[in-house]
Amino acid sequence: MAVLVIADHDNALVRETTHKTVTAALKISPDVDILVAGQGAKGAADQAAKISGVRKVLLAESDALGQGIAEAFEALVTPLMANYDAVLTPATSQGKNLSPRIAAKLDVSQISDVIEVVDAKTFVRPIYAGNALETVQSADAKQVLTVRPTVFQPAGEGGSATVESIDAGPGAAKTEFVSQELVKSERPELSGAKIVVSGGRAMGSAEEFQRVIEPLADKLGAAIGASRAAVDAGYAPGDSQVGQTGKVVAPELYVAIGISGAIQHLAGMKDSKVIVAINKDGDAPIFQVADYGLVADYKTAIPELMDALAKIGK
Amino acid sequence: MKLLVPVKRVIDYNVKARVKADQSGVDLANVKMSMNPFCEIAVEEAIRQKEKGTATEVVVVSIGPVQAQETLRTALAMGADRALLVQTDQDLEPLAVAKVLQAVIAEEGPELVLMGKQAIDGDNNATGQMLSTLLGWPQATFAFKLEIEGGKAKVTREVDGGLQTLEVTLPAVVTADLRLNEPRYASLPNIMKAKKKTLDVRELASYGVDTTPRLKVLKVSEPAGRKGGIKVETAADLVDKLKTEAGVL
Ligand SMILES: Cc1cc2nc3c(=O)[nH]c(=O)nc-3n(C[C@H](O)[C@H](O)[C@H](O)COP(=O)(O)OP(=O)(O)OC[C@H]3O[C@@H](n4cnc5c(N)ncnc54)[C@H](O)[C@@H]3O)c2cc1C
Ligand SMILES: Nc1ncnc2c1ncn2[C@@H]1O[C@H](COP(=O)(O)O)[C@@H](O)[C@H]1O
* Cα→Cα distances B164→A67, A177, B232, Å: 9, 8, 43
pLDDT band per the 50, 70, 90 thresholds, residue A180: very high
A34 has a pLDDT exceeding 90? yes
Residue B228 is predicted with a pLDDT of: 82
Residue A119 is predicted with a pLDDT of: 97
Q: What spatial distance separates the first Cα and last Cα of chain A, rounded to whole Å?
A: 50
Share the mean pLDDT of chain A: 97
Mapping DSSP onto H, E and C, the string for B102-121 reads: HHHHHHHCCCEEEEECCCCC
* Cα→Cα distances A225→A58, B162, B184, Å: 34, 14, 28
How many CA atoms are closer than 13 Å to the CA of B48, on its beta-carbon side? Answer: 16
Tell me if A292 and B158 make a contact (CB, 8 A cut-off).
no
pLDDT band per the 50, 70, 90 thresholds, residue A205: very high
A135 has a pLDDT exceeding 90? yes
Q: Average of pLDDT values for A195-219?
A: 98
Tell me if B133 and A264 make a contact (CB, 8 A cut-off).
no
Q: Respond yes or no on whether the N-terminal peptide bond of residue A188 is cis (omega within 30° of 0).
A: no
A185 has a pLDDT exceeding 90? no
Contact B123, A113 (CB under 8 A): yes
A window 8-47, beta carbon within 8 A of B: none
List, in sequence order, the alpha helices (H) in A143-293. 206-220, 228-232, 263-266
Q: What residue ranges line ligand 2, CB within 6 angstroms?
A: B 6-8, 36, 38-39, 62-64, 92, 94, 97, 115-116, 118-119, 122, 124-128
Cα–Cα distance between A30 and A32 in angstroms, integer?
6
* Cα→Cα distances A274→A31, A37, A259, A309, Å: 36, 36, 16, 17
Residue of chain A whose alpha carbon sits nearest to that of B161:
A182
Report field, pTM of the whole predicted structure over 0.95:
yes
For residue range A219-251, list pLDDT tens digits in order. Answer: 999 999 999 999 999 999 999 999 999 999 999
Residue B225 is predicted with a pLDDT of: 83
pLDDT band per the 50, 70, 90 thresholds, residue A6: very high
Cα–Cα distance between A280 and A289 in angstroms, integer?
16
User: Could you tell me how many helices (H) and strands (E) chain A has, helices first?
Assistant: 9, 16
Nearest by Cα to B47 from B35, B39, B38, B57: B57
CA nearest ligand 1 atom 9, residue: A243
Q: Chain-centre distance of CA B143, in angstroms? A: 13
A255 has a pLDDT exceeding 90? yes
Q: Which residues contact B210 (CB under 8 A, 6 or more apart)?
A: B96, B99
Cα–Cα distance between A8 and A209 in angstroms, integer?
30
Cα–Cα distance between A72 and A39 in angstroms, integer?
12
Cα–Cα distance between B46 and B175 in angstroms, integer?
12
Residue A184 is predicted with a pLDDT of: 83
Residue B226 is predicted with a pLDDT of: 86
Residue A1 is predicted with a pLDDT of: 85
CA nearest ligand 1 atom 15, residue: A228
Q: Average of pLDDT values for A84-97?
A: 98
Contact B47, B78 (CB under 8 A): yes
Span from the CA of A66 to the centroid of ligand 1 (angstroms): 35
Q: Does A133 touch chain B (CB under 8 A)?
A: yes
For each successive 10 residues of chain B (249 residues), what is the average pLDDT? Answer: 98 96 96 98 98 97 98 98 98 98 98 98 98 98 97 97 97 98 96 97 98 98 90 97 96
